[in-house]
Structure 1
Amino acid sequence: MLSIIQAALQNSFSYAEYRTLVSKLIQEGQSTGNEQSADLLHYSELNETRMNRLEKTLKMDSEVLKTLENLKSKQTWIVISEGWCGDAAQILPIIKLMTETSENIKLKIVLRDENEVLMNQFLTNGSKSIPKLIILDENLNLINHWGPRPEAAKNLIIDYKAKHGIVDETAKIALQKWYLDDKGISTMKEITKLL
C-alpha cells in the first residue's frame, strides 16, 4: 500500500493546482478524466461555480475547529476526485477549509482516472465512487478513509433509487439541495470522527 500511496503523491495536486487545472480544461472544452463528453464538460462548469460559491460561504463548525486545532500528529489527506463529479465539488471546499485550520494536515488531490491502482484500494460497493478521502499518518500509514458522500446524502440517493429505480436529474437536484441546506456540517463532523 505504501508504494501505491507514494506513487499517487508523486502525481498529486495542491487544492489551488487542482482548481487551476479544472478551469484550464474547461476553457479548452474538456473535463478531467479519460472520458470526454458534452455532459461531463457541463458538469465541470456547474461544479466550478459551486466551488467558487462554497469557498466564499462555508463556515467552520466550532466543535470541528477545536478538534482540528488540537490535532497533535502530522497527517496527509489525499482526496481522489475528478472535476466533473458533483459530490467532489461540494466536498472538496469543505476538506480544504478543514485542512487550513490545522498546520498538521497537508492536503493533496489526485485524479481518479490517473490513479486507478490507488482508487481500486478504496472502492465503494465495488465501484469507483468519488470523492474519496484517505487519511494518512506522518509515515503515510492509513489512519482511515471516508467518502464518497455524507451518510444522510448517501441515504437520500439510496432511498430515491429504491423508489424510482434510477438516479436521474431530479435525484441529482435533490442531492445538491441537501448539500446546500447542510452547509458542510455533516461532512465536517463525519470526517472529524475518523481522526
Structure 2
Amino acid sequence: MKAIIEAALAKSMNYIQYRNLVSTFLAEGKATGPEQSEALVHYSSLNDTRMKRLDKTMVVTEAHTEKILGLEWEYIWLVLTEGWCGDAAQIVPILNKMAAIGDKIDLKIVLRDENEALMNLFLTNGGKSIPKLILLDAATLDVLADWGPRPAGAQQLIQEYKEKFGVIDDTLKTELQLWYHHDKGVSTQNEVLELLS
C-alpha cells in the first residue's frame, strides 16, 4: 500500500494546479480522465463555475478553524478526484480552505483515473466513488482514515431518492447541489475534522 501511496504523491498536484488543469482541459473542450463526452465536458464546466464561486465564498467556521490551528501532528490529505464530479466540485474547495489554515495539513490532489491502484484500495461499496480523501500521517505516510465521497446528509438524500424512484437523474443531481448550497460545507468540515480527533 505504501508504495502505491508514494507513487500517487509523486505525481500529485496542489489545489491551484488542479484548478488550472481542469480549466486547461475545458479550454480544449475536454474533461479530465480518459472518457470523453459532451456530458462530461458540460459537467466539468458547471463544476468549474461552482469551484470559482466556492473559492470566493466558502468559509471555514470559527470552531473548525480553532480545531485546525490546534492540531499537534502534521497530515497529508490525499484526494482522489476528477473535474467532472459534482460532489468533488462542492468538497475539494472546502478541503483546500481547511488545509490553508495553519501549517499542519498538506493537501495533495490526484486524478482518479490516473491512479487506479490507489483508487482500488479505497472503494466505496465496491465502486470508485469520488472525491475520496485519504488522511495520511505526514511523517510515516501511514493511512489514518479515509472519507468520502460525500457527507452523511448528502448520502442519505441520494439513498432515499434511489429507494423512492430507483434512479439517479437530473432531478436528484439538482436536489443534491441544493443540499450542498444550504449546508455551506459545514457537514464536510465536521466529518473530516472528527477523523482527526
Q: Distance in 1 between matches of 2:120 and 2:11?
A: 16
Query: 1:174 is matched by which residue type in structure 2?
Result: E
Query: 2:12: which partner in 1?
Result: 12
Give, in angstroms, the shift of residue 102 of structure 1: 2.4
Query: 2:154: which partner in 1?
Result: 153
Query: 1:21 is matched by which residue type in structure 2?
Result: L
Q: Distance in 1 between matches of 2:124 and 2:184?
A: 24
Query: 1:88: which partner in 2?
Result: 88
* Alignment RMSD: 0.5
Q: Distance in 1 between matches of 2:111 and 2:190?
A: 25
TM-score, normalised with respect to structure 1:
0.99
Give, in angstroms, the shift of residue 64 of structure 1: 1.1
Q: Distance in 2 between matches of 1:104 and 1:61?
A: 17
Q: Distance in 1 between matches of 2:111 and 2:160?
A: 29
- Aligned partner of residue 194 in structure 1, secondary structure: helix
Q: How does 1:56-135 map to 2 (within 5 A)?
A: 56-135=56-135
Give, in angstroms, the shift of residue 28 of structure 1: 0.3
Task: Please list the CA deviations of residues 76-135 of structure 1 after superposition, one character each: whole Å capped at 9, or x if unmatched.
Answer: 000000000000000000000000012011000000000000000000000000000000
Q: Which runs of 5+ in 1 are unaligned?
A: none
Q: Distance in 2 between matches of 1:102 and 1:184?
A: 19
8 A Cα contact 1:75 1:137, kept in partner: yes
Q: Distance in 2 between matches of 1:53 and 1:104?
A: 26
Query: 1:35 is matched by which residue type in structure 2?
Result: E
Aligned length: 195
Q: How does 1:157-168 map to 2 (within 5 A)?
A: 157-168=158-169
Give, in angstroms, the shift of residue 35 of structure 1: 0.4
TM-score, normalised with respect to structure 2:
0.98
Query: 1:44 is matched by which residue type in structure 2?
Result: S
Give aligned-pair identity as a percent: 54
Q: Which runs of 5+ in 2 are unaligned?
A: none
Give, in angstroms, the shift of residue 171 of structure 1: 0.2
8 A Cα contact 1:80 1:110, kept in partner: yes
Query: 1:176: which partner in 2?
Result: 177
Task: Please list the CA deviations of residues 35-76 of structure 1 after superposition, one character each: whole Å capped at 9, or x if unmatched.
Answer: 000000000000000000001111111221111000111110
